[in-house]
Amino acid sequence: MLREVWPFVLEKRDSPMVLARLVDRDGPGARPLGATMAIAADGTWRGSVSGGCVEGMVLDAARAVLDGEAPRVAVVTPGAHLMPWEETPACAGELRVLLTHVPDDPVRAAITSAVTNDRPLSVRIELTPPYAWSVGSALGEGPAFVEELPGRSTLVLVGATDLAASVAAMAESLHHKVVIVDPRPGHVGSGAFPVSCEVIRAWPDEWITSLGPGDAVVTLTHDPRIDDLAIRAALSSGAGHVAALGSRATHAQRLRRLEGVPGLERLCGPAGLDLGGASLAETALSILAEVVAVGNARSGRRLRDGRDSIRATLPAW
């Protein structure tokens, strides 16, 4: 998707670049429509349109456009490079990939602003030459591919801890806006957190007020004076996912303290999925895995034990 590759587009802003975007297919695939590769003239690239099986062909086609060929919709097929007697992959349908240059301003600036400032934006590109781009109210008519860029959901971590730093670092690639809230000055001043996240010195009940169903709150302090305030505020805020770190015994005590709080049945504790990990990174992965599963209305069980589509069909949250 555009949001996934746009940091690379900005990094290579002075280099000619082609975007390869999956705009249609006639069978199953590893990536959703809108999946995008960004290919720079210096040979570097980011993203994917199929998960790996056609990227080599897409790179060749993109380099041809960089060398002067006209933008076009290319048809690529997983397994096209195989010999006749070799088995083709299950996702062997045709993929239609639009190869076009990165848009100029004002479309480029509008996309950059939306990605940077977490604002939703409709981005349209025509599927016939000259493959014109438009955004927002400038959306036109005719054959086109339209991508809705959503604003990022917010992940609030209560407690400026070493675990919060690990969760925040992993959450960057999941496109969450991470906010760390802690009233303790020594904790918020540790300098351990990614520069991309927001660190706020405040009592959580004073700050958590207007979260919505696309947002999540996870308490990490192990201090009931802080965590309980955050849980009460989060449950009343409408956040879609509220979780609390701690052992089963700690959580049982927490439930007794909070008995009668409206919405307490929504509280997930202990936070995370059952991965059996012990390190900070493994614990962070467990917590974020639950955030993703809940956001996609999934159980988090092993894929081999389920029959649902691997990719959620509904938007996260």
pTM score, two decimals?
0.81
Structural domains for the chain:
2-149 (no CATH), 154-303 (3.40.50.720)
Give CA separation, 45 vs 17, 27, 77, 218, 270, in Å: 9, 26, 21, 35, 40
End-to-end CA distance of the chain: 18
Half-sphere exposure of 68 toward its Cβ, with a 13 Å CA cutoff?
0
Residues 6+ apart with CB under 8 A from 31: 22, 48, 49, 50, 51
How large is the C-alpha radius of gyration of the chain?
Answer: 23
| pLDDT value, residue 311 | 64
| pLDDT value, residue 84 | 47
Task: For residue 52, count CB atoms less than 10 angstroms from its CB and return exposed for 0-12, middle for 13-18, buried for 19 or more.
Answer: exposed
Q: What pLDDT tens digit does each residue of the chain (317 aa) get?
A: 898 899 999 999 889 999 999 999 887 667 888 999 999 999 999 999 887 778 889 999 999 999 999 999 999 887 555 444 445 555 556 889 999 999 999 999 999 999 888 888 999 999 999 999 999 866 667 789 999 988 888 999 999 999 999 999 999 888 889 999 999 998 988 888 998 899 999 999 988 988 888 899 999 998 999 999 999 999 999 899 999 999 999 999 999 999 999 999 999 999 999 999 889 999 999 999 999 999 988 888 887 887 777 666 544 44
